[in-house]
Amino acid sequence: MTRERVGYPRPLILAALAVVAACDTTSGPEIPEMIGDGVAYGIWTPGPHDTCTQAVHDSYFAVGPDGLRYPTWHPPVDPGGCASGHEHGRDPSGSDLFDEVGPIPFGYANQHLPASGFGAVRNEDHVGHKVEWENDMEMRIGDGGGAALAVRCDVLVKMHQGTHSPDAFTNNMHEVAYHLRCSDGTGFSATLLTPIGEGGELISGCDRERHLQAGVPTPPNSPDGGGQRAIPDAACVAEHVLASGEGTPRFDQALRESWEIHAELRTSDGRRLVAFNPYFQVLDPSRYYDPAAEGSLARPIDLCYEGVAVGRDRCEGLPAEPVPWDDPRSPFKGVRRFVDINGNTVRNTDGPNVWYTDPLGRNARTEPFPGSVRQWVGRRNNEGLDLHGPVIGRSRDYDAPGVHAPG
């Protein structure tokens, strides 16, 4: 018997969502008829450690607002028992926003970059898409407002944050899908390619004053953005692991990535509709920047087999025979992550709710145009609140049987 799995959620729920979407006047795209496959769909293939077939893996999909099929969240171990070898973070079906926004289409913004006139493509791998969410977050209100007001929010976010390759050493454009709904009426759903810091440059993960020129970004015309990509480099490893001497190697201090984004949706006349600036943090990535290494790419697992780190801290319990970087036994696979939600600003008092922007979140208009990406913004101006969210996911670890780098 062939199992047919129509995306995530199930067909009946999909139909119900379509009915709800037709009646819902608050948010959430209508679910269009599927007309084809996005570039991001079907690009994953199983490796030597993976027991799921491509067909099982690809049975999890989402139809985007453009009618194209995209990959979406799936469990690292399929209910049938096979392992795909990678994880996409927290199961979004537990989010209070899931019924409203539906499964997140991975690569929706990337898909439309060429048609938008950007002049280049920016396609990201499959395994780097990571989901995180939290319900009923107590928000901080600036300027003393927290004493007078109480605001709670639900957030559901997906960030492409691959931590296994040299991609992010130079490439600063990464897809983010960010959904927020708050008790004060603040709300938006934004999907865009957000430039994080300067293209071609990374910031040392352990010393924010150290700026490292890593090469030419892809695409070469990647714009600079707010925020920064703080990625561990060889100096971090030398200071916190290799120089520890009789002390304990401090891998958590050495190997911590922080992608600090500043994302906006702006109208064609430059008016800012939405701004948000979460920081996406990863511990135990499977790479660090070392210009002395081939391709400037070094693997933390190699530290476990030489010098002071042998058998200590994160290297404890490893077999004597070196474990490859992409082996499930390696502790360095970027499965420990958390997000600083930070600020969320909406300026859309007069509406409408639905906007279309280019894939970088610019040129927002009320009608779709070639290469546009659908956005949703609540009718609200919350600038007086200085609304900031907490850190979410600190206690979560997304490791599972069979999970390994790349991820």
Partner 1 sequence: MNPARSSSRRPTRRLVWVTLTISCLAAFPPDGVAQDVATSGKDVLDGFWLGVTAGAGAARLTCDLCAPRDLGPSVDIAAGAYASPRLRVGVEAGGWTHLEEELEVRETVYRAGVTAQLHPRADSGLQLIGGFGWSGYRADAFRYDAARVTVGIAWDLPLAAGLVIGNSITIDAASFGSLRNQDVKVARGVGLSVVRLGVYLRQG
| Residue ranges in contact with partner 1 by CB under 8 A | 138, 142-151, 183-184, 382-386
Please give the radius of gyration of the chain, using alpha carbons only, rounded to the nearest integer: 21
Which residue, chain included where needed, has tokens 């953005």? 225
Work out how close the CB of 389 gets to partner 1 at its nearest, in angstroms, rounded to a whole number.
15
Work out how close the CB of 143 gets to partner 1 at its nearest, in angstroms, rounded to a whole number.
4
Residues contacting 6, CB < 8 A, separation 6+: 14
Structure tokens at 208: 């924010």
What size, in residues, is the chain? 407
Work out how close the CB of 97 gets to partner 1 at its nearest, in angstroms, rounded to a whole number.
20
Strand arrangement, sheet containing 129-138: 129-138, 152-160, 173-182, 187-195, 373-377, 354-357
Q: Compare residues 138 and 224 and give the one whose CB is closer to partner 1.
A: 138
Q: Closest Cα to residue 153, out of 343, 375, 379?
A: 343
Q: Compare residues 186 and 281 and give the one whose CB is closer to partner 1.
A: 186
Q: Compare residues 62 and 137 and give the one whose CB is closer to partner 1.
A: 137
Taking the C-alpha atoms of residue 20 and residue 87, their distance in angstroms, rounded to an integer, is 30
Taking the C-alpha atoms of residue 268 and residue 226, their distance in angstroms, rounded to an integer, is 19
Tell me if residue 59 falls in helix, strand or coil. Answer: coil
Work out how close the CB of 155 gets to partner 1 at its nearest, in angstroms, rounded to a whole number.
18
Q: Compare residues 47 and 142 and give the one whose CB is closer to partner 1.
A: 142
Work out how close the CB of 340 gets to partner 1 at its nearest, in angstroms, rounded to a whole number.
18
Q: Compare residues 71 and 378 and give the one whose CB is closer to partner 1.
A: 378
Q: Compare residues 115 and 150 and give the one whose CB is closer to partner 1.
A: 150
Taking the C-alpha atoms of residue 399 and residue 87, their distance in angstroms, rounded to an integer, is 8
Work out how close the CB of 383 gets to partner 1 at its nearest, in angstroms, rounded to a whole number.
6
